[in-house]
Chains A and B, each alone.
Chain A
Amino acid sequence: MINMKYILLLFFTLPIIGIGQKDTLVNTSRKNLRKNMPSYINISAGKSRSSFRDFGTSPLTYKGTPNFIAISRSRQNEQKEFEIGSFYSFGDFKVDYNEHKSTSKLQSLSIYYSQLYRVKKLSTEKLTTKVGGLFNTTGNLRNNASLQNNALGREIIATLFGSAKVSWDISRNQAKSKKILFFNYHLKPKTRHLDYRLNIGLINSALRNGYAYIGQSSVLNDPKVFEGYKYNLFSGFRLSSAVDYTVLLKNNNSLQLSYLWDAYKTGGKFDQLEMASHTIKATLMFNYK
């Protein structure tokens, strides 16, 4: 029943948001607006503090500080924004417990697409609220030699999120001069904003191992990557959020500093996977339109 609620919520909220947009665009050429939407190529790099636990192989939590890189293309204006992109993180996750150490080498690739639309009633001159959706598919490849034939862990987590984003315009519109002790300094006008985005998984799904974790394709002389895997739809949960501080540079490019949080747990009948990551990243946003 809960899953049905999510589906109904998704199907009813997204069209309403779409209709709301139509109203606000009534007197403006839609084509023109779309054409003139500022567009960016975003290149990011960062560092995460992450942890995971795969109950299929171990009750222990593995922790690591993987590297994070991302690339995306975004288009945004006051009314709406779109982003399509991919991020990749990689690094060693370790457990050191009871004088026993194990290492899992993890590579994770995510591909996502997001659409957000302004909610006029929740927006003011300085504050913009947008809602919409985000579709994210994450594939993990983990290798932990101490787990013998279960050394390789792999899964695909696909999630459709409902998203809300609030942007505060914190621009400095006038130059300021200040003095602290004997030091004078001048602050130039600057365009900048602070965003907070929350994504709640509405439709969660995962492609995970079957009952025995490892498949038998190797002894069948017919190797298969996802042999015995089960696809679980409408199970598990995923939540993510982002805090972005963005400064517009003189050349219309932007610099963004972000904190990202992502947490998910797979569902299904068999052993679940829990994963959480906290990422600090810097993004160069190259404006090309």
Chain B
Amino acid sequence: MNNIYRILLLGFLLTSCEKVFFEKDLSSTNARENFEYLWNECNEKYSYFELKGINWQAIKSQYSSKIYEGMSDDSLFSVLGGMLTELKDDHTNLFSNFNVSVFGVRYLGKDNYDGRVLKKNYLSDNVYRTGPFLHDFIDNGQIGYIRFNEFTGTVDSVNLNFILQRYRNTKGLVLDLRENGGGAVTDIFQILSRFVETKTLVNYSRIKTGKGHNDFSAPQPVYVEPFKGIRYNKKVAVLTDRGTYSAGSFTSLATKALPKMVLIGDTTGGGLGLPNGGQLPNGWTYRFSITQALSLDKNPEYEKGVPPDISVLFDWSNLTKDEILERAILELQ
């Protein structure tokens, strides 16, 4: 009987002592510990080392030599942020309360959008703003122009119904995704569901499943299903440039499988990996890509940018014309 009470007494003493069972406190401002933690997280989970030909081990050697005892947070941020920038991926960032690291893929290409040129030469004073969309008739009321500059997550059946109803008698639509840096994935499928008549396979996706740089799940199909309601079945020109990123690139990738949609402008910025999120031992946070979107032939190459079907660049010597929009109007005739 005494043994039972000893066990219970031991149990009582263990109460409040969960630290006995848990791992030690890992919070740390030590520069090297934070460097190792971040490098290792990327090493085990980042999804584009092979495609981009990145030697992550060599980058470790390069940046590890910049770590020294007693370095300031600002200096440490420069080293860690610089290391992440080597991934050349705008889905990869380091966040602190004094700085955010950004690669800036949009600056790899030419600037292909000027809102002032558009407003002055193509849009009326009666431009509509419906939800996240700005839209108007162009080309003497023959074409509907829809500007969508961010996937806000607020695209819904009400705003899309209104827009598609308004432009139902046009020859075609222009969906302008230039300088659209992405956002909510749900918006992609809300929009695309209005431009398909049957369930359509648009691309594949795979996710990291192990520490190896090429450990991925089997490719999973991505389908777009037609919206049960107002749809638009004429031609749609989607305008893109290097600033079209993430959800913008996903949408551009899907258009490759949709014959009534044509991509016009410049190659997109990529960003076809779904980013994760995490925290370092010093409290800073980070994110990087952990999936790959694949084309219909199961190729991840479009991470480097989805190429346009019709390549056109903005001519900055003539600010009375938007060459990319002009080419779209021509395509929709």
Contact = CB atoms under 8 A, between A and B. Distances in A.
Interface in B289-321: 290-291, 293
Contacts of A241: 11-12, 14-15
B16 interface: yes
B16 A261 contact: yes
A60 B291 contact: no
Closest 8 CB pairs of A and B: A148-B277, A100-B283, A58-B279, A59-B26, A198-B11, A263-B18, A150-B277, A276-B18
Given A122-B4, A148-B275, A241-B12, A59 B37 contact: yes
Interface stretch (A5-13, A179-187, A212-220): A212-220
Interface residues of B, number: 58
Contact of B27 (A60, A261, A274, A278): A60
Interface stretch (A81-89, A91-99, A109-117): A91-99
Interface of B: 1, 4-5, 7-8, 11-12, 14-16, 18, 21-23, 25-27, 29, 37, 45, 73, 95-97, 185-186, 188-189, 205-210, 217, 220-225, 250, 274-285, 287, 290-291, 293
A228 interface: yes
Contact of A221 (B4, B224, B287): B224
A99 B287 CA distance: 20
Contacts of B275: 148-149
Given A122-B1, A219-B185, A261-B15, A213 B279 contact: no
B276 A98 contact: no
B279 A102 contact: yes
A57 interface: yes
B87 to A, nearest CB: 16
A261 to B, nearest CB: 4
Contacts of A97: 27, 282-283
B223 A221 contact: yes
A148 B285 CA distance: 9
Given A59-B37, A274-B22, A212 B209 contact: yes
B283 A265 contact: no
B21 A166 contact: no
Most buried by A among B15, B45, B73: B15
Contacts of B207: 212, 215-216, 228
22 contacts: A59-B27, A59-B279, A60-B26, A98-B282, A99-B97, A99-B283, A100-B282, A100-B283, A101-B283, A102-B279, A148-B285, A149-B287, A151-B277, A198-B12, A210-B209, A211-B209, A216-B274, A220-B220, A220-B221, A241-B12, A274-B22, A276-B18
Interface residues of A, number: 50
Nearest to B291: A216
Interface string A48-65: 000001000111110000
Contact of A57 (B4, B250, B279): B279
Contacts of B5: 166
Contacts of A278: 16
Contacts of A149: 274-277, 287
Contacts of A198: 7-8, 11-12
A212 B220 CA distance: 16
A265 B14 CA distance: 15
A148 B279 contact: no
A150 B276 contact: yes
Contacts of B290: 212-214
Given A98-B29, A276-B18, A219 B279 contact: no
A166 B279 contact: no
Contacts of B223: 221-222
Contacts of A210: 209
Nearest to B287: A148
A274 B225 CA distance: 41
A147 interface: yes
A239 interface: yes
Nearest to A272: B23
A149 B287 CA distance: 8
Contact of A61 (B27, B189, B220, B280): B27
Contact of B274 (A214, A222, A237): A214
Nearest to A199: B11
B154 to A, nearest CB: 16
Interface-central residue, A59, A122, A146, A263, by most chain B CB under 10 Å: A59
Given A57-B277, A198-B8, A274 B23 contact: yes
A219 B22 contact: no
Contacts of B209: 210-212
